[in-house]
């Protein structure tokens, strides 16, 4: 069991209100990602759940039990830190065994669990090494191993992949997702990277300035963003926005079109927006065109890798009519 | 120092300082070695010439030498134990977020700025004096018989004074080490279910072991040569009860005017210091690797 509920949680550091008021319900076994720009309070929220920070007001319930005032050790949660926070003077084996040793578990049982965790995480041949003799990805796995031996109610990940290089990040992303399918334990994962959020999550919490902008499945957020912030944050490259007269044609304050929802043409098309290609980024599979659209500004457009647009070409953009997102003056989706 | 030119320049610029320091060290050392093999007593200036090992056998066979050696070890060990344990404790307290932390830290460190003879005088007359010392007043206040510290516990008194002087140093080094421990590691240990005692034992202590090693090494070097505190308070007595090797050299060479024997004692002291350093490096030096 590992359901987590936040009930009107508020957190202030002195006069600065980091989290005004959050109510969230995370189901047992769910993989939930907190995503948002840096400084949006996502790490603070995770630390509140972990018990490393005190809530200013509100309640945190684990499996229906009020744990707002409980110390971290009593909450039965495990955390993987951004810096891994391995104990440098202990071997990998001792690092993984530490929480069990603190729980005063018999030695044979500890050994068995450590062996099992090491095999699950491909660490068996590194058990007698010190953390500093390991690579970044291996350290990450040790940190995860230290978390899983405790069989916690839920795992908390605080930007665990941000210190790894790009290739390793993709690898570890898969490993963590696989681990979740294997263990079926609740996981909360904090990241600023919306790609990680989209690929890993069952449900995503988009945070902005301490407020939940939207809580839903990745495709929900992509297809039906609740507001302009979520629309701009989810999806890569970012959505293009147009205000003013063009938006008014759609009875909206502003409209948004994702880079992948344009039809391109070299010849004038009725209703299309005319622009000039500023930069073409060739990725092979795709090409991202940065197009200067007359009177709207810079647009990003995705097109097939075989298209041969280049700097200075004129291009006509037609947004797919069903894929135009409309937003009111308050930023809410219409 | 990338090129031959910068390397040569660096050597040329450093040379005067190096030569000066070398002379400063080598002249007294050679003179001490020379005197230690000479008959050279100010009481008997007519007796001169080569003495062979007579000065050395005189110093080492003297019963006070063995006592001074034991006193030296007790003094060094006693001060080390008090400063390392006490320093760790004070560092842990100072690491807590409290109001007026900055001022408190300066106050804790201030004994280190007091010169040894001054500190010894303060303790001798202000605190430990049998008649009007603060400790005697307090003991009389609670109905106990005051202690004449320097007569009854001469070596312990010296240890207390020296420990008071070196406690700030140990505290300062250990506090710095404590503050360099990453916050996430403490939090990880907390999440792993380690209570305060376990966190101290398994996380904080191993992290501080290198700093403790440095404190022990540096203090030992200075504590082997404690002199001013003994000179000002007990004068090495009663008898030889608070005489360490350094003070014995002083007593033999200056008070007894036997320069030859005093020099021999000095050479022996240098050898002892090297032996101690050797064992110390083997015992705790491995903490300094990597």
pLDDT, average across residues B60-79: 89
CA nearest B135: which of B147, B118, B151? Answer: B147
From A79, A85, A99, residue closest to B193, measured CB to CB: A99
Confidence of residue B1 (pLDDT cuts 50, 70, 90): low
Check residue A103 and give its pLDDT: 86
Output the pLDDT for position A34: 92
> With bands split at pLDDT 50, 70 and 90, how would you rate the model's confidence at B160?
very high
Would residue B182 count as lying in a domain?
A: yes
CA distances from A104 to A89, A97, A145, A155, B198 (A): 21, 11, 18, 21, 12
Decide if pLDDT at A189 tops 90: yes
- Among B191, B193, B203, the residue with its CB nearest the CB of A79 is B191
Dihedral angle sign, alpha carbons of residues B112, B113, B118, B123: negative
Contact state of A146 with B203 under an 8 Å Cβ cutoff:
no
Nearest by CB: A87 against B185, B195, B209: B185
DSSP strand pairing (A186-191 vs A203-208): unpaired
**Chain B closest-CA separation from residue A15 CA (Å):** 19
Question: Does residue B253 sit within a domain?
Answer: no
Q: Assess B148–A contact: CB distance below 8 Å, yes or no.
A: no
- Selected residues 265-284 of chain A with any CB under 8 Å from a CB in chain B: none
What local confidence, expressed as pLDDT, does residue B167 receive?
A: 93
CATH number at residue B203: 1.10.3720.10
Kindly report the average pLDDT of chain B as a whole number: 86
> What are the tens digits of pLDDT across the range A13-48?
888 888 888 888 999 989 999 998 888 888 889 999
- Split into its structural domains, chain B has a count of 1
Condensed to tens digits (0 to 9), the pLDDT of residues B125-157 reads 888 887 888 888 888 888 888 788 888 888 898
Contact: B188, A85; criterion CB under 8 Å:
yes
CA dihedral A109, A115, A121, A127 (to 10 degrees): 120
Query: Does residue B80 form part of some domain?
Result: yes
What pLDDT is recorded for position B75?
A: 92
Question: What is the tens place of the pLDDT at every residue in A39-93?
Answer: 888 888 999 998 888 888 888 988 888 888 888 888 888 999 888 889 988 999 9
Q: Is B262 inside any structural domain?
A: no
A14 touches chain B (CB under 8 A): no
- B183: domain range? 65-242
> Edge to edge, what strands does the sheet with A325-327 contain?
A240-243, A254-257, A325-327
Contact B187 A81 (CB under 8 A): yes
Percent of the residues in chain A that have a pLDDT greater than 70, as a whole number? 100
Contact indicator for B113, B166 with CB cutoff of 8 Å: no
Q: Which of B192, B199, B286 to mutate to test the interface with A (most CBs of A within 10 A)?
A: B192
User: A133 to chain B nearest CA, in Å?
Assistant: 12
B188 has a chain A CB within 8 A of its CB: yes
CB distance from B181 to chain A under 8 Å? Answer: no
The widest CA-to-CA distance across chain B, in whole angstroms, is: 80
ipTM (interface pTM): 0.80
Tell me, yes or no, whether B1 lies in a domain: no
B289 close to A (CB below 8 A): no
Asked which of A64-68, A254-258, A287-291, B173-177 is least confident by mean pLDDT, the reply is A64-68
Any B CB within 8 A of A102 CB: yes
When pLDDT is averaged across residues B89-114 and rounded to a whole number, the result is 86
Contacts of A87 in chain B (CB under 8 A): 185, 188-189, 202-203, 206
Region B235-260 average pLDDT: 83
Residue B146 carries which DSSP code?
Answer: P
Inside any domain, residue B282? no
The residues near B129 (Cβ < 8 Å, ≥ 6 apart) are B136
- pLDDT number for residue B289: 63
Count how many pairs of residues, chain A against chain B, have C-beta atoms within 8 Å.
55
* SS3 sequence of B214-267: HHHHHHHHHHCCCCHHHHHCCCCCCCCCCCCHHHHHHHHHHHCCEHHHHHHHHH
Q: What are the tens digits of pLDDT across the range B179-196?
A: 888 888 888 988 888 888
- Is the separation of the CB atoms in A24 and A31 below 8 Å? no
Give the pLDDT confidence of B213-234 residue by residue, as tens digits: 889 888 988 898 888 889 888 8
B278 lies in some domain: no
- Cβ–Cβ under 8 Å, residues A85 and B187: yes
Residue B95: inside a domain: yes
Cα B201 to Cα B121: distance, rounded to the nearest angstrom: 39
By CA distance, what is A151's nearest residue in B? B192
The answer to whether A73 contacts B188, with C-beta atoms less than 8 Å apart, is no
């Amino acid at each position: 069991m590992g359901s987590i509920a936040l009930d009107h949680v508020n957190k202030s550091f002195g006069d600065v209100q980091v989290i005004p008021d959050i109510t969230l319900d995370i189901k047992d076994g769910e993989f939930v990602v907190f995503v948002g720009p840096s400084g949006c309070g996502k790490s603070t929220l995770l630390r509140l759940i972990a018990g490393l920070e005190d809530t200013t007001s509100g309640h945190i319930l684990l499996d229906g039990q009020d744990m707002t005032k409980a110390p971290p050790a009593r909450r039965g949660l495990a955390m993987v830190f951004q810096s891994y926070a391995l104990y440098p003077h202990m071997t990998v084996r001792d690092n993984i065994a530490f929480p069990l040793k603190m729980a005063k578990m018999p030695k044979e049982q500890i050994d068995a669990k450590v062996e099992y965790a090491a095999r699950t995480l491909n660490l068996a041949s590194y058990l007698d090494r010190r953390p500093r003799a390991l690579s970044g990805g291996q350290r990450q796995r040790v940190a995860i191993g230290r978390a899983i031996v405790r069989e916690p109610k839920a795992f908390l990940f605080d930007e665990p992949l941000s210190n790894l290089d790009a290739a390793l990040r993709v690898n570890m992303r898969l490993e963590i997702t696989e681990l979740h399918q294997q263990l079926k334990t609740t996981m909360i994962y904090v990241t600023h990277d919306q790609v990680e959020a989209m690929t890993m999550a069952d449900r995503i919490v988009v945070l902005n300035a301490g407020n939940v902008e939207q809580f839903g499945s990745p495709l929900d957020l992509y297809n039906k963003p609740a507001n302009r912030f979520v629309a701009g944050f989810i999806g890569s490259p970012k959505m293009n926005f147009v205000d003013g007269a063009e938006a008014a044609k759609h009875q909206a304050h502003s409209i948004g079109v994702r880079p992948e929802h344009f039809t391109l043409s070299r010849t004038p098309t009725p209703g299309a927006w005319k622009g000039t290609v500023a930069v073409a980024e060739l990725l092979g599979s795709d090409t991202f065109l940065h197009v200067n659209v007359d009177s709207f500004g810079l647009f990003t457009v995705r097109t097939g890798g075989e298209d041969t647009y280049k700097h200075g070409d004129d291009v006509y953009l037609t947004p797919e009519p069903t894929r135009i997102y409309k937003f009111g003056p308050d930023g809410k989706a219409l | 120092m990338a090129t031959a030119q910068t390397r040569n320049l660096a050597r040329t610029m450093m040379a005067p300082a190096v030569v000066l320091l070398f002379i400063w060290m080598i002249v007294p050392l050679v003179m001490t070695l020379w005197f230690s093999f000479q008959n050279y007593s100010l009481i008997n200036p007519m007796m001169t010439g080569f003495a062979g090992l007579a000065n050395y056998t005189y110093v080492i066979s003297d019963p006070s030498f063995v006592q001074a050696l034991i006193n030296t070890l007790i003094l060094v060990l006693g001060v080390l134990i008090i400063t390392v344990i006490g320093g760790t404790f004070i560092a842990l307290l100072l690491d807590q977020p409290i109001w007026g932390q900055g001022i408190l830290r300066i106050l804790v460190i201030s004994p280190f700025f007091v010169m040894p003879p001054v500190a010894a005088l303060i303790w001798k007359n202000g605190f430990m004096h049998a008649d009007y010392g603060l400790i005697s007043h307090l003991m009389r206040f609670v109905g106990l018989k005051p202690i004449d510290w320097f007569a009854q516990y001469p070596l312990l008194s010296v240890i207390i004074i020296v420990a008071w002087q070196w406690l700030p140093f140990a505290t300062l080094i250990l506090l710095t080490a404590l503050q360099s421990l990453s916050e996430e590691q403490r939090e990880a240990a907390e999440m792993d279910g380690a209570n305060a005692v376990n966190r101290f034992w398994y996380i904080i202590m191993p992290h501080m072991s290198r700093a403790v090693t440095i404190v022990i090494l540096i203090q030992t070097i200075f504590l082997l040569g404690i002199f001013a505190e003994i000179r000002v308070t007990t004068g090495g007595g009663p008898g030889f009860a608070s005489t360490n090797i350094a003070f014995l050299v002083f007593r033999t060479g200056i008070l007894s005017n036997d320069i030859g024997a005093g020099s021999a004692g000095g050479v022996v002291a240098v050898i002892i210091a090297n032996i101690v350093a050797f064992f110390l490096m083997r015992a705790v030096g491995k903490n300094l690797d990597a």
